[in-house]
C-alpha cells in the first residue's frame, strides 16, 4: 500500500510539474560493507542519517531532474517496505542482485584453500596470510548482508574463499590473534622433531556450528563398530545391548586402510582400487545400520582414515610420499602413505565424507590418521613429501582440518579429528604434524588416543601405566587441559579408550580390560575434567567383549560428575 501511495504522489508531481521528468525503477541496496545508510533530507537540504539497513534489500527508487545533490553527493528518493520514504546515495542503488556486493579486493587474514569447484570441493590454490586478493563475485547473502563465500581471482586461478578468512585492511590481515597472550605460548614450543614451528599455525577463534536437525549429545558414550558385514548384519544385537546401558553413540568405519566399507561414488571416481575391494552389499548394510541406529535415538559417526591408504597410492602413485632414490612410493608400517601435503588426497577424503553424510545421514565424520607417518626422523632425508606450498607439517595438518570442517559443515555434519595421545604433551610439536592447539582450535571434537599400553613404563610418573588405567588417563587428561587452555576456541575432547587386553609383548600378565578397568579409564578422564565422553577402541568390536565391559557402559559419568561439582560448588 505504501508503494502504491508513493507512486501516486510522484505521478501527481509529474503531472503538476511538466519540467520534471520522473523515472521509477526497482533497485537493490549495495555497499562495500554489510550495511547501507539511508537518510532523511529536510526542506533546507539538511541531511540526517535515518536508518542503517542490511545490503541486498529491494527498494523502489525515483530518478528525476530534481534529485538532491548536496555537497557533491547525489541522493535518490526511495521507498522501502517497513521503513517508508527516505533517500539513498546514488552509488548505493544497483539494478541487479549480482551488483549488491561492491568489494573489489580484500586481504587474507587466515591462510585458506581456494575452492575451484564447490560441488566436489576441488582445491585450486592456497590464499596465504597477508595476501591481497581480488573479488569477482559472491556466493550468497544472508539477511544481515553478510557474504558466505567470495569468488576470488588469484593470478590464473578463479575460485571461492569463505568470507570469514578475509578482512578489509592489510594491517588487520597481518595481525596475529591476541599476540600479546598467545604468541609467547606458541613461540616457546620447540620444533625438536621437525614437525614445524607452532607459531606458524593460525589461532583466530572459530564460530562453533550448531545444526537445527543434528544434535550432538552433551557427552558421547560411544561404541566403535568395524565395517565388517559380520558386524553390520548384527546391528540389532548391538542396539539391544546399547539399550541396556548409557551408550548413546556409535562410530562406524567407512574407510580404513585397505578396508573400504561400501562401493561409494567418491571411490569409483578417485580410487578404483578402494571401490573394487569394497563390499558389494555395503550400501544396503550402511543404510540399514545408520537408519536403525538413528531411529532408536543414537548419534552416528562415520570414521575415515585419511593419510594411510595403500589403495589410493596404487591408483595414484603421484600423490604418495616417495623414495628420493627410486621415485617409488615409500612403504611404512606395512602401508603406503598419501602425502598430507597433497590437495587431491584432501579432496578424496572430504568427498567421501560428504557423500556418506548425504547418502546415509551420518551425524558426524571422524577422521583418523590425520598426520604424516610417525617414527620417520631417521629417514626424513631419504624421502620426498612433495610439499608444493612449502608448508610445515603442523601447518598442512591444520589447513586440512580447516578445509574438511568447512566443506563437511556445509552438508550439515560435525567433524572430529583423532590425534595421538602424545599430541597432548607440552613443549614441542610432534614429528608427524599434530599440534593439539592448532587442531583443537578448529574441529568440533578432538579425539585423543591415550591407550594405556601405548605408554612406556614411568610415563607421567606412572609405573606400568597399562596396569593402572585410572592413573595414566587422569595424568594424560591433565595435560590435555593444559593444551585446551592455550587454545582460543577449544574443541570438545572426546577420548578413545582402550577396550582390548594389554598387548602380550607389553605385558603377558597385563589387564584384560573388562568392566572395572574400562570404568577406571573413563573415571580418570572425568576426574581430569574431560567431560566430552569416550569411544571404545576394540578393533574387532566383538559384542562378546563389549558384554564383558557392560558395567562400565551403564554409568552416566557426565551426570555423576555434574552433580558432584554442584554439591562441591565447583564452576
**427 and 545 together in one domain:** yes
**48 and 156 together in one domain:** no
Classify residue 144 by its DSSP letter. T
190 belongs to a structural domain: no
**237 and 148 together in one domain:** no
210 belongs to a structural domain: no
Instruction: Report yes or no: 87 and 40 within 8 Å, Cβ to Cβ.
Output: yes
Domain with residue 112: its CATH number is: 2.30.30
**pTM here?**
0.94
Kindly give the parts of the chain with pLDDT less than 50.
Answer: 1-20
298 belongs to a structural domain: yes
**Predicted local confidence at residue 6, as pLDDT:** 43
**332 and 272 together in one domain:** yes
208 belongs to a structural domain: no
**Ordered DSSP codes for 34-75:** SEEEEEEE-TT--EEEEEEEETT-EEEEEEETT-EEETTEEE
Residue after which a domain boundary falls, among 175, 195, 211: 175
Show the domain range for 124: 105-175
199 belongs to a structural domain: no
Instruction: Report yes or no: 235 and 294 within 8 Å, Cβ to Cβ.
Output: no
**255 and 139 together in one domain:** no
- For the chain, how many structural domains are there in total? 3
212 belongs to a structural domain: no
**Predicted local confidence at residue 568, as pLDDT:** 80
**125 and 90 together in one domain:** no
**334 and 470 together in one domain:** yes
**19 and 121 together in one domain:** no
Instruction: Report yes or no: 531 and 565 within 8 Å, Cβ to Cβ.
Output: no
Using the Cα atoms of residue 537, residue 540, residue 546 and residue 549 in order, give the sign of their dihedral: negative
182 belongs to a structural domain: no
> Who contacts 161 (Cβ-Cβ below 8 Å, separation ≥6)?
108, 112, 113, 114, 115, 127, 133, 149, 150, 152
**Predicted local confidence at residue 10, as pLDDT:** 42
**Predicted local confidence at residue 30, as pLDDT:** 98
Q: Is 520 helix (H, G, I), strand (E, B) or coil?
A: helix
289 belongs to a structural domain: yes
With 0-12 / 13-18 / 19 or more C-beta atoms within 10 angstroms meaning exposed / middle / buried, residue 421 is buried
**289 and 395 together in one domain:** yes
262: left (phi over 0), alpha (psi -120 to 50) or beta: beta
**36 and 138 together in one domain:** no
**Ordered DSSP codes for 298-358:** -EEEEEEE-S--HHHHHH-GGGB-EETTT-PBPEETTEE-B-TT-HHHHHHHHHHHHHHHH
**230 and 167 together in one domain:** no
Residue after which a domain boundary falls, among 140, 175, 210: 175
Residue after which a domain boundary falls, among 75, 99, 123: 99
**162 and 27 together in one domain:** no
**Predicted local confidence at residue 99, as pLDDT:** 97
**Predicted local confidence at residue 21, as pLDDT:** 64
The model's pLDDT over 163-191, given as tens digits with 9 standing for 90+, comes to 999 999 999 999 999 999 999 999 999 99
**Predicted local confidence at residue 22, as pLDDT:** 65
C-alpha atoms less than 13 angstroms from C-alpha of 66 in its C-beta half-sphere: 10
Domain with residue 552: its CATH number is: 3.20.20.80
How do strand 112-117 and strand 122-127 relate by DSSP bridges?
Answer: antiparallel
Residue of 187, 250, 192, 222 lying closest to 422 (CA atoms): 192
Amino acid at each position: 500500500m505504501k508503494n502504491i501511495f508513493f507512486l501516486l504522489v510522484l505521478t501527481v508531481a509529474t503531472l503538476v510539474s511538466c519540467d520534471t521528468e520522473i523515472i521509477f525503477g526497482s533497485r537493490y541496496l549495495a555497499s562495500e560493507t554489510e550495511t547501507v545508510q539511508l537518510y532523511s533530507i529536510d526542506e533546507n537540504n539538511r541531511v540526517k542519517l535515518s536508518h542503517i539497513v542490511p545490503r541486498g534489500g529491494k527498494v523502489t527508487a525515483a530518478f528525476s531532474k530534481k534529485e538532491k545533490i548536496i555537497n557533491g553527493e547525489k541522493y535518490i528518493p526511495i521507498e522501502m517496505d517497513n521503513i517508508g520514504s527516505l533517500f539513498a546515495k546514488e552509488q548505493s542503488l544497483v539494478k541487479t542482485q549480482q551488483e549488491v556486493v561492491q568489494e573489489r579486493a580484500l586481504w587474507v587474514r587466515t591462510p585458506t584453500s581456494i575452492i575451484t569447484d564447490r560441488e566436489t570441493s576441488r582445491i585450486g590454490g592456497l590464499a596465504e596470510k597477508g595476501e591481497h586478493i581480488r573479488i569477482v563475485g559472491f556466493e550468497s547473502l544472508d539477511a544481515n548482508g553478510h557474504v558466505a563465500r567470495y569468488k576470488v581471482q588469484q593470478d590464473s586461478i578463479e575460485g571461492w574463499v569463505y568470507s570469514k578468512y578475509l578482512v578489509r585492511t592489510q594491517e588487520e590481515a597481518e595481525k596475529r590473534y591476541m599476540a600479546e597472550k598467545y604468541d609467547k605460548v606458541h613461540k616457546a614450543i620447540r620444533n625438536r622433531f621437525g614437525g614445524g614451528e607452532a607459531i606458524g599455525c593460525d589461532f583466530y577463534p572459530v564460530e562453533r556450528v550448531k545444526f537445527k536437525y543434528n544434535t550432538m549429545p552433551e557427552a558421547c558414550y560411544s561404541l566403535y563398530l568395524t565395517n565388517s558385514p559380520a558386524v553390520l548384519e548384527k546391528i540389532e544385537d548391538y542396539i539391544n545391548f546399547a539399550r541396556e546401558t548409557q551408550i548413546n553413540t556409535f562410530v562406524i568405519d567407512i574407510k580404513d586402510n585397505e578396508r573400504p566399507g561400501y562401493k561409494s561414488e567418491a571411490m569409483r571416481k578417485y580410487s578404483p582400487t578402494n571401490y573394487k575391494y569394497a563390499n558389494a552389499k555395503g550400501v544396503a548394510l550402511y543404510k540399514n545400520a545408520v537408519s536403525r541406529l538413528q531411529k532408536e535415538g543414537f548419534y552416528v559417526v562415520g570414521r575415515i582414515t585419511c593419510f594411510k591408504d595403500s589403495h589410493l597410492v596404487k591408483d595414484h602413485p603421484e600423490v604418495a610420499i616417495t623414495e628420493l632414490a627410486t621415485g617409488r612410493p615409500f612403504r611404512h608400517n606395512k602401508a603406503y602413505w598419501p602425502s598430507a601435503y597433497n590437495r587431491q588426497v584432501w579432496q578424496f577424503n572430504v568427498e567421501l565424507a560428504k557423500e556418506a553424510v548425504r547418502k546415509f545421514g551420518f551425524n558426524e565424520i571422524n577422521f583418523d590418521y590425520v598426520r604424516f607417518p610417525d617414527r620417520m626422523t631417521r629417514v626424513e632425508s631419504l624421502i620426498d613429501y612433495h610439499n608444493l606450498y612449502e608448508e610445515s607439517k603442523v601447518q598442512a595438518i591444520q589447513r586440512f582440518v580447516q578445509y574438511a570442517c568447512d566443506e563437511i559443515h556445509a552438508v550439515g555434519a560435525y567433524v572430529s579429528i583423532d590425534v595421538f595421545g602424545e599430541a597432548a604433551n607440552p613443549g614441542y610439536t610432534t614429528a608427524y604434524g599434530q599440534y593439539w592447539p592448532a587442531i583443537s582450535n578448529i574441529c568440533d571434537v578432538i579425539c585423543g588416543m591415550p591407550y594405556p599400553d601405548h605408554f612406556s613404563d614411568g610415563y607421567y610418573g606412572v609405573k606400568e601405566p597399562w596396569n593402572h588405567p585410572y592413573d595414566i588417563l587422569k595424568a594424560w587428561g591433565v595435560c590435555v587441559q593444559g593444551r585446551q587452555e592455550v587454545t582460543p576456541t577449544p574443541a570438545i575432547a572426546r577420548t578413545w579408550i582402550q577396550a582390548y587386553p594389554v598387548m602380550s609383548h607389553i605385558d603377558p600378565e597385563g589387564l584384560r580390560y573388562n568392566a572395572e578397568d574400562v570404568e577406571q579409564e573413563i573415571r580418570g578422564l572425568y576426574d581430569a575434567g574431560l567431560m566430552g565422553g569416550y569411544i571404545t577402541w576394540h578393533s574387532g568390536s566383538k559384542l562378546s567383549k563389549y558384554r564383558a565391559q557392560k558395567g562400565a557402559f551403564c554409568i552416566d559419568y557426565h551426570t555423576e560428575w555434574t552433580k558432584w561439582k554442584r554439591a562441591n560448588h565447583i564452576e
